[in-house]
Structure 1
């Protein structure tokens, strides 16, 4: 099956489940994610960030994804640019074969965000590529995206409607209380479901996106800390909150931190228990398996997208 856009995925998912958008940085993470999707018979969005492009080079990642698609012919796969920060970058990846892009103008004044987003839409749509915009700012750190608590802002429902109408975007990333990174909440986790309900009501059947949606599973935090890590206080979005959001118009859920934690905790354990080991396959292989197990759990028990391929 060739690469697809997320348009039909979202149409089918709306109000019932969400598609997992998993960030990939290397072969082992990609293999773990694609194997999970094969076994769960679930549609899949593979995200490539600016950091991933810098670390692995886009050409390597796209060739790996090409191999993954060949290896999983029955899995609908969309390749998405995560947090594109310029028209030039979006144009580059569209021309390189990406089927979806995010243009993140959330740091700009509203009118500038509209202008930039529409520019990307006008280039993407004639080429069959879908566009995700963002309105509102999530606190936290995700590679080159750094937002302080003072700079963070929730999505205004009125502005969301205007933004979608004026830009023509295909989906919208909203801010309702999630955040990037492993430290999402200082106190009790809370999402603004009233705001989500209001946005979904004003934008009926329009796909919404939840960034910063890793749950920071404590089994990985504890394992990492047990074997030398320092992740005190790491806390994510409870999985029942994610599941609730998928019934309220959220069609795409971004997951990156959870993958990193699964890899790191597994490798730390192997290094601690087997200090004599130096074969990368002996620790990257189990890390890949941990990613696969995690993604299968997300697809089946949190996102509800198993069996929807």
Structure 2
């Protein structure tokens, strides 16, 4: 299971408890057109959290609630409407929220590999198109959905800029951003440059109620074109002092909402780069450090997210959740699950998939209903959704809505 770098979602005390109307602005016109689904509330959730895409204050309320109740939301990397729909189908089945995550490469794939990707045009357009698909259908599943984008290194900032522009345009019309949140991964840069760039973007994102996830330390392994398989193992462990520095810098931005992916030995994929040990206690120690520095009454002032946890022991995952992890990234295992569903479909129906005409039922019998792409793709969706239901159980995210 892919758990990513422990990211701490947090809003510094000076911002976290500001009055809702100050913390996240809303367009009154939004509420005039509420559908029945939008008015629905969940018995076990904050009143602000409703079916469909969750942004702004509702997103903050959702993540704070997850921290308090001790569950984490699956954050799933997708590559098209089939995997998007599998995510929401799973959430409907396990009775909890879901985070649909787009990568730069995933966005390009959605737009089409043959599309012109000059200046990241296809990567931007694909992510935007996918987000709009989610917004059109999410309420039909009756679950809260967080729209997120994954790792963005310094060289990929033009892609990030395009996404922010799309959010700004959407905000002008709808009073909320298109996406719920975005991730910047500048962990290859110095701490000062990393947080300096993040702060510049946070100032822009805060104006449209977008949450920023940033990374400190490095997630090992390889994912979607980012290869850290040979990284020095010392870089896989983030220090509490680094987290607190970021906390203070980003916390100075009015209306800021952000998460931080703090590494504790996390590795993308199903392999290890050697001598890497997962240490969730780093998250617990960081919570204590921030609490002491801030004099907070909250024993878990941070909300963490967890990248690169494929193959991790469930007890380590749940120990990380106890430290305030509210989202876990999943990619490697869901990729396999989707393929395994397609593979099993082919194996079961192989004799009906060898030609358009002719099968065990007769030489002149048609096979169209077997080779219809919807059949094999649906098998992949079902297998992926089943794997996500298992993940939700591991993350204690099942049955948390009602």
TM-score between the two structures when normalised by the length of structure 1: 0.85
Off by >6 Å, runs of 4+ in structure 1: none
Structure 1 residue aligned with 2:163: 93
| DSSP-derived class of the 1:14 partner | helix
Which residue of the partner structure matches residue 27 of structure 1? 81
* Separation in 1, partners of 2:333, 2:136: 24
- Out of 269, 283, 287, the residue aligned to residue 196 of structure 1 is 283
Aligned length: 285
Write the distance in 2 (CA, Å) between the matches of 1:139 and 1:290.
Answer: 27
Which residue pairs with 1:219 in the alignment? none
**5 Å matches for 1:102-141?**
102-141=183-222
Instruction: Please tell me whether residue 9 in structure 1 is matched to residue 62 in structure 2.
Output: yes
Matched, 1:284 2:377: yes
Counterpart contact for 2:229–2:273, Cα < 8 Å: no
> Who wins on radius of gyration, i.e. which is larger?
2
Deviating more after overlay: 173-182 vs 253-262: 173-182
Question: Where does residue 143 of structure 2 map in the other structure?
Answer: 75
3-state SS of 2:151 partner = strand
**How big is the shift at 1:18?**
0.9
Give the corresponding residue for 1:224.
Answer: none
| Equivalent residues in 2 for 1:211-250, closer than 5 Å | 211-214=307-310, 236-250=311-325
Between the aligned partners of 2:132 and 2:281, the Cα distance in structure 1 is 42
Segment of structure 1 superposing worse, 80-89 or 108-117 = 80-89
Contact 2:74 2:327 in 1 (8 A): yes
Distance 2:279 2:128 in 1: 39
Residue in 2 that maps onto 1:179: 267
Alignment of 1:248-259 (within 5 A): 248-259=323-334
CA contact (8 A) 1:170 1:207 kept: no
Q: CA deviation at 1:292?
A: 1.1
1:43 to 2:97 alignment: yes
Q: Does 1:66 align with 2:119?
A: no
User: Does residue 18 in structure 1 map to residue 88 in structure 2?
Assistant: no
Q: Displacement of 1:185 after TM fit?
A: 6.8
Report the secondary structure of 1:65's partner residue: helix
Q: 1:83 Cα shift?
A: 0.8
The 2-side partners of 1:164 and 1:145 are apart by: 26
Separation of aligned partners in 2, 1:298 and 1:141: 21
SS at match of 1:127: coil
Q: Is the CA contact 2:103–2:151 (under 8 Å) kept in the aligned structure 1?
A: yes
**Contact 1:94–1:129 (Cα < 8 Å) also in 2:** no
Question: Is the 8 Å Cα contact of residues 91 and 123 (structure 1) preserved in structure 2?
Answer: no
Per the TM alignment, residue 150 of structure 1 is displaced from its structure 2 partner at its CA by 3.0
Which structure would you say has the larger RCO, counting Cα contacts within 8 Å and 6 or more residues apart? 2
